[in-house]
Structure 1
Amino acid sequence: MLKPSLIALTLTAVLAGCSSTSNSMAGSSATAAVAKDPAARAQQLAQQMLIVDTHIDVPYRLQEKWEDVSVAAPGGDFDYPRAKAGGLNAPFMSVYIPSSYEKSGGGYLLANQLIDGMEALVGRAPDKFAMAYKADDLAEHFKAGKISLALGMENGTPIDGKLENLQHFYQRGIRYITLTHSESNHISDSSYDMRRKWKGLSPFGEKVVAEMNRLGMMIDISHVSDDAFYKVIQLTKAPVIASHSSLRSFVPGFERNMDDAMIKALAKNGGVIQINFGSSFVVSQANQWGLQFRAALAAAPKGTDEKTFRAEYLKQHPYPFANVDTVLDHIDYVTKLVGVDYVGIGSDFDGVGDSLPDGLKDVSMYPNLIAGLIRRGYNEADIEKILSGNLLRVWRQVEAQAALQQAG
């Protein structure tokens, strides 16, 4: 017979055990509920996994109209609270240089100013952001609860014909360079420019590819002409990236996107295509809308205000936005064509204006994409590859190739 005190202790233990069992069952039920709910699981994964987005145009956005993105900001597609809500750990901030600087000069100065702006952002909020200079920085910053700011330069114009400028920008933190932009420059022909001066890369552009390999900079083939792409693939000793491109299969005739043969060549090289979210990159109807609008604007009377004209045009011709599923179609296509190891995300947030898809309007909405991947049957290992693993693999291979060349 137990003493009253022991009876009390035993009852307490039994009750505690029941409570523990009850809590365990409740926990199991909650876990099961999450497993059955892609949206809930996506929210969890967004916070647990590294998310690397290789193209966000914050630097130039702030150059045009400054606001403090370390707190909630009224404009644009990115700020700290929205990035945290969406699980974004490592945006590559695009040091974008307009093509006009190729002729006017000043690209080198502007690039440095845009880099200064990102360093200043980290300086204002060192508890929220940290500059990322190597692939391993991302996991360290994630562990510390900080968002990594990596830098990519969109348009090689600031190199200004001097290989020493590549060294300078590497030292300043640039880890990829998009060789050209909307017009051909002194490095490469552009997919948007009908004048194909170089039939691919210039002689200096070939030296740029070699030097980027040596330094450990990823080569970005978004925006380049098809001939330039194949020349890069022929010359490079390291994998390359398309930092913000989608698939020509869905938007026929749009050379800015990649066709199937290019994607296969990219995969053989070990590179990765980072899917652009912009509606005109993702669905043909939106791409055609843009062409039709520009034709209508060109036919309008001289002096027509573009903003007013566009507002009226939209009333008669609503914009055919892409959506989460149409973006996922591009990821599916790459996966079926060459495998899941060669695709990632390069949203072009703050770079494609108001053409972003329904459900992917800003950096808080990555969970919508993740939920879609879950619904389409992607396992969590493959989701992690798409969100960051594939890009990190390429970045580490580029670092390793540079170390090998520098050691030799």
Structure 2
Amino acid sequence: MKRTFYVLIATVILMACNEKSEITDYTLLTDEERLTIAKEIAQNTIMVDGHVDLPYRMKVGGFTLQREILDVSVRTDGGNFDFPRSKEGGLDAPFMSIYIPAIYQERGGAKALADSLILMTERLCDTWPDKFAIATSPDDIKRNTEAGKISFPMGMENGAALEDDINNVKYFYDRGIRYITLTHGKDNLIGDSSYDTTRTHGGLSEYGVQVVKEMNKTGIMVDISHVSDNTFYDVMKTTDVPVIASHSSARAFTPGFERNMDDDMIKALGKNGGVIMINFGGSFIDGDYNERSREVREYLVNWLADNGLSRSDSAAQAYIQKYTAENNPFPNVSKVADHIDHVKALVGIDHIGLGSDFDGVGDSLPTGLKDVSMYPNLIAELLKRGYSKEDIEKICYKNIFRVWNKVIAAAG
């Protein structure tokens, strides 16, 4: 009887749009009951994901503006994103990553690639206007969500596409870009990357300082994912508005992995008013994942050789699936919740978001968060840990909307 009572009360809470007080203790419910409530929350709360690599997935798959384009209006084979799965998971606004590999810094063509990926994203919306729509503000996302559409805000991953022309900040704003990840895998003209040990500038370059200021002036959010620690602190000294980490996690769980943020950086981000949007990738959330995954891969390579099989053989595929299931190297959804717990303990609930890196981290995604249909599993885990509906709304959209609107207001 008690359990039935709690489920009834929880349902009443979900139907009350402006309910602020915490009446239900979700920790007292069963896992099944929490998942039911989590699915309702996902369907009735705007959900923003800070980083989904669909545009580059299309490019790698051979889809172009001149030929066919990947039909993500229907359920797709492979990949982590499509319209049906987004609707199942309650995802309303995945930031489309306009990803510029570092090699384009060396051979040229970074700006042209960015333009082509933007056009490809726009073409998705033009082809299926009843399902997808570009969004350049939180208000756009609200309107699109009310119309039943998935919003495509865009963020540019790697400021190399700005090349050496500060006027390109405004150019890409006009093209719809609403955040720029300053660097990617290598140091660029803007600053140093977390993945590059060269330390070309020792942080932000002089040009990088201009870029950050111009982004503040123009209304583009500064994204510090991928930057070196020195670059991060130079951004903190330069920016006049809150910044984001669109797809980063807590280094406390991955010692030595500079791509994640350490505790002092998270505290500085909190003081700045910014948001860290937690990456779901295995190597981002679990310091032991890479070693466990390596051991499984090594065993399977040897097994294939010993049995004279290739991965494409049906017998091999069946064995690989069985062995991987029995020796699962993947973290699970609770690891993502651990990162959220950690950030909350450091700086509070107002500085956390979701930045899955779907379609960008391969098969390393945790059990229970393999694609965009599975966000309710994370919400259910947070309910189990005592998070309130209001806490979850902040993580899903309110925190990133707050930062985004401050950036818009500061730019006038």
Greater shift, 59-68 or 325-334, is seen at 59-68
Q: 8 Å contact 2:293–2:330 — kept in the other structure?
A: no
Q: What does residue 191 of structure 2 align with?
A: 188
Q: 8 Å contact 1:191–1:256 — kept in the other structure?
A: yes
Secondary structure, counterpart of 1:184 in structure 2: coil
Alignment of 1:199-278 (within 5 A): 199-278=202-281
Q: 8 Å contact 2:296–2:329 — kept in the other structure?
A: no
Alignment of 1:90-169 (within 5 A): 90-169=93-172
Pick aligned residue for 1:51 from 37, 47, 50: 47
Secondary structure, counterpart of 2:251 in structure 1: coil
Q: What does residue 6 of structure 1 align with?
A: none
Pick aligned residue for 1:364 from 370, 373, 382: 373
Residues 371 and 182 (structure 1), Cα distance of their counterparts in 2 relative to 1, 3 Å cut: same
Q: What does residue 59 of structure 2 align with?
A: 63
Taking structure 1 as the reference length, what is the TM-score of the superposition? 0.85
Q: Distance in 1 between matches of 2:311 and 2:189?
A: 33
- Read off the aligned partner of 1:254 and give its amino acid letter: F
Q: What does residue 34 of structure 2 align with?
A: 38
Q: Distance in 2 between matches of 1:319 and 1:178?
A: 33
Gaps of 5+ in 1: 1-26, 297-305, 404-408
Q: What does residue 304 of structure 2 align with?
A: none
Q: Distance in 2 between matches of 1:294 and 1:200?
A: 37
Q: 8 Å contact 1:286–1:319 — kept in the other structure?
A: no
- Read off the aligned partner of 2:335 and give its amino acid letter: T
Give 1:71 shift: 1.3
Secondary structure, counterpart of 2:138 in structure 1: coil
Secondary structure, counterpart of 1:122 in structure 2: helix
Alignment of 1:394-405 (within 5 A): 394-403=403-412
Q: 8 Å contact 2:286–2:335 — kept in the other structure?
A: yes
How big is each residue's C-alpha offset from its partner over 1:127-185, in whole Å with a ceiling of 9 and x where there is no partner?
A: 11110011211111111111110000000111011011111110010000000101111
- Read off the aligned partner of 1:321 and give its amino acid letter: F
Q: What does residue 345 of structure 1 align with?
A: 354
Q: Distance in 2 between matches of 1:204 and 1:291?
A: 40
Q: 8 Å contact 1:281–1:287 — kept in the other structure?
A: no
Q: Distance in 2 between matches of 1:52 and 1:29?
A: 29
Residues 377 and 33 (structure 1), Cα distance of their counterparts in 2 relative to 1, 3 Å cut: closer
Alignment of 1:305-324 (within 5 A): 320-324=329-333
Q: 8 Å contact 2:155–2:179 — kept in the other structure?
A: yes
Q: 8 Å contact 1:280–1:290 — kept in the other structure?
A: no
How big is each residue's C-alpha offset from its partner over 1:68-92, in whole Å with a ceiling of 9 and x where there is no partner?
A: 1111111200000000000000000
Q: 8 Å contact 1:251–1:287 — kept in the other structure?
A: no
Q: What does residue 19 of structure 2 align with?
A: none
Larger radius of gyration: 1
How big is each residue's C-alpha offset from its partner over 1:204-240, in whole Å with a ceiling of 9 and x where there is no partner?
A: 1010000000000000000000000000000000100
- Read off the aligned partner of 2:258 and give its amino acid letter: E
Secondary structure, counterpart of 1:148 in structure 2: strand
Taking structure 2 as the reference length, what is the TM-score of the superposition? 0.84
- Read off the aligned partner of 1:51 and give its amino acid letter: M
Deviant stretches of 4+, over 3 Å:
27-30, 32-36, 287-296, 311-319
Q: Identity of counterpart residues, as a percentage?
A: 54
Count of equivalent residues: 366
Residues 104 and 43 (structure 1), Cα distance of their counterparts in 2 relative to 1, 3 Å cut: same
Q: Distance in 1 between matches of 2:250 and 2:193?
A: 17
Q: What does residue 10 of structure 1 align with?
A: none
Q: Distance in 1 between matches of 2:327 and 2:196?
A: 28
Residues 152 and 337 (structure 1), Cα distance of their counterparts in 2 relative to 1, 3 Å cut: same
Secondary structure, counterpart of 2:267 in structure 1: helix
Gaps of 5+ in 2: 12-23, 64-69, 300-309
- Read off the aligned partner of 2:373 and give its amino acid letter: S
Q: 8 Å contact 1:183–1:189 — kept in the other structure?
A: yes
Give 1:376 shift: 0.6
How big is each residue's C-alpha offset from its partner over 1:23-82, in whole Å with a ceiling of 9 and x where there is no partner?
A: xxxx98973586741100001000000000000000000011132111111120000000
How big is each residue's C-alpha offset from its partner over 1:74-115, in whole Å with a ceiling of 9 and x where there is no partner?
A: 120000000000000000000001010000001111100000
